[in-house]
Structure 1
Amino acid sequence: MYGAISALLLASCVKDEVYNTPHPDKGAVSIHVNLPQGTEDYTVEIDGQSVQGSGAIFVYPALLSPGEHNLLMYNHPDGLTIADGIAHVNAKPATKSNGNTLLPMPGCLYSASTACTVTADDTVRIELDPLRRMRDLHFELTVTEGDPERIASVEGVLSGIAGTYTLATESPGGEPMTTAPAFTRDGNRVTADARLLGTAGEAQILMLTLRFTDGEVQTIENDLTEMLRTFNTDMQTPLKISGSLLTPTAANPGTATITDWQVQKVVDITIK
């Protein structure tokens, strides 16, 4: 009788273990995304498994095992393709056969990467601040010699630019590519814009082809390597490259040239 009572008393002292969540052996991830203006939908990847998200608060739908996990977040800009953690700028439709000339003004890529430590029976909360991964480049040439009205059109090709961006390492790369910014003339000013993942290769060359109203065609080769040497170090601030465009005149019928190059960071420039 005494033994039965003792066993009953011992059994009554055993309590069920109390857990904080419905997932005692796994952890959850909640992300607060500080979205850049104009960014709505995005992708979150954890250990290579991607899920579409939107809004400032995103709860990863799968529970994770305890330990460290790699996390990526990126938006979906027009003109870029993202696969296997690498963003690629798309080629221009007219040159897709050779794949060398990239879109000059794709949408802007934003991304963030981090490692998070997941704890069982808990929710880890992460703050993400996606950063701009593309830099705007503005060209502005002023015709200081010759009649600007003689210029019928200007075509430009910029070589030595990056075509890919690795999200995990946060770095541009790939083989050096080319792009063709759309140059236009307004009065004595010739301008163009480009949006680049960065520079690549040993040299950055801008080839300009000027077509004049009398049928004359001239090509100017411009080495911008030194001007773009630190281009990849500050994607947040647009860069402006300007110069004086000298075109043939009756007194100086030689070839067109560009002089007085200047490079400056411009915060308030509007890229069209």
Structure 2
Amino acid sequence: MGTILLLAGCVKDDLYNTQHPDKGALVVTADWAGASSEAVLPDTYILHVDNQEYEAGSTPYIFPSLLSPGQHKLLACSKAEGITTDEATATVNTLEDGTLEPLPGYLFSAVKEVEITADDTLRTSMSMRQHNRLLSLVMKMEEGEKERLSSVSATLEGIASSVDLGTGTLTDSRGKAVIPLFRDGTEEGAPVLKADLRLLGVIPAERQVLTLILELKSGDRQTITNDLTEYLEGFSDGEKEPLLLYTSLELPAEAGAGAVIKGWEVVDGGDIDIH
């Protein structure tokens, strides 16, 4: 009997830190600190690991599958209305008229390489990069001038439509047009027309040309072409806070004269009431 007990006491139990000694667990937290001040943060995002894809929440997310030891690539990407994504690229949807969706949802992504260790849990944070930026075009008018307008239509050319989710690099070879939808508003009691666009960026090799078509109640039609290239240079580089371009629009005082836009300027801040 004493011999049997002695032999049993020599048996070694393997001790592990987890219930998965041959694989590792992963916990991911999305970091939204890089979002612009007006951006709407998503409640969930899509997390790609190897060939697996899951919907993750904003709180620390426990990846459902255990992973083999070694290097793994993580791709996190938010779902944005008006934008189509795959595992590499996001593309702004094209409307039936061939122009881009003017105000798609905010798009974020992050890529990270991690090292998984067997019998352990890796906790990692992913810094979400914001890809699109708000552009506001504001045209101030003299009191009573807006009442002379029947309609305002516009196009802005040379706009990027796709971006690499890993690097943030624009992937277009040619730009597309987008339609700014101008609305009535006021600024410090003065009437304005304002249009908001949410853009991935601009094509550096092309000009960003704004074309305005003004239909007057008198039956006159005015077309104004403005080159905004210098104001939009580097639009997608780094800074994602909104860009506000401000100008004054003067309608013709008499028949045969043309409407005039009196230059553009970049404005920081400012409260504009749009209705």
TM-score range, shorter chain: 0.7 to 0.9
Per-residue CA deviation, residues 233-266 of structure 1 (Å, 9 max, x unaligned), is 245300001112122112x842222123101343
Q: Which residue of 2 aligns with 1:239?
A: 243
1:223 matched to 2:227: yes
Percent identity, please: 37
**Does the CA-based 8 Å contact 1:104-1:194 persist in structure 2?**
yes
Q: Which residue of 2 aligns with 1:85?
A: 88
Distance 2:217 2:73 in 1: 58
Distance 2:132 2:271 in 1: 17
1:77, distance to aligned residue in structure 2 (A): 1.7
1:24 matched to 2:24: no
Match of 1:131 among 129, 132, 139: 129
Q: How does 1:91-170 map to 2 (within 5 A)?
A: 91-92=94-95, 94-95=96-97, 100-143=98-141, 147-170=145-168
Q: Which residue of 1 aligns with 2:30?
A: 33
1:11, distance to aligned residue in structure 2 (A): 8.3
CA change 1:259–1:267 in 2 (3 A) is: closer
SS at match of 2:26: strand
CA change 1:235–1:45 in 2 (3 A) is: farther
CA change 1:71–1:179 in 2 (3 A) is: same
Q: Which residue of 1 aligns with 2:68?
A: 65
1:270, distance to aligned residue in structure 2 (A): 8.3
CA change 1:267–1:32 in 2 (3 A) is: farther
RMSD between aligned residues: 2.8
| The 10-residue stretch of structure 1 (64-73 or 258-267) with the greater mean CA deviation from structure 2 | 258-267
Gaps of 5+ in 2: none
**Does the CA-based 8 Å contact 1:237-1:265 persist in structure 2?**
no
1:249 matched to 2:253: yes
Output the TM-score relative to the length of structure 1.
0.85
1:33, distance to aligned residue in structure 2 (A): 2.4
Alignment length, in residue pairs? 261
Counterpart residue type for residue 71 of structure 2 = E
Counterpart residue type for residue 240 of structure 1 = L
| The 10-residue stretch of structure 1 (201-210 or 10-19) with the greater mean CA deviation from structure 2 | 10-19
**Does the CA-based 8 Å contact 1:136-1:194 persist in structure 2?**
yes
SS at match of 1:231: coil
Counterpart residue type for residue 76 of structure 2 = M
Per-residue CA deviation, residues 187-244 of structure 1 (Å, 9 max, x unaligned), is 7411111001111242211111111112211211111111000211245300001112
Q: Which residue of 1 aligns with 2:217?
A: 213
CA change 1:172–1:58 in 2 (3 A) is: same
CA change 1:45–1:20 in 2 (3 A) is: same
Per-residue CA deviation, residues 89-137 of structure 1 (Å, 9 max, x unaligned), is 1122x42xxxx30111111112222221111111110123323221000
Gaps of 5+ in 1: none
SS at match of 1:260: coil
SS at match of 2:141: strand
1:146, distance to aligned residue in structure 2 (A): 9.0
Q: Which residue of 2 aligns with 1:262?
A: 265
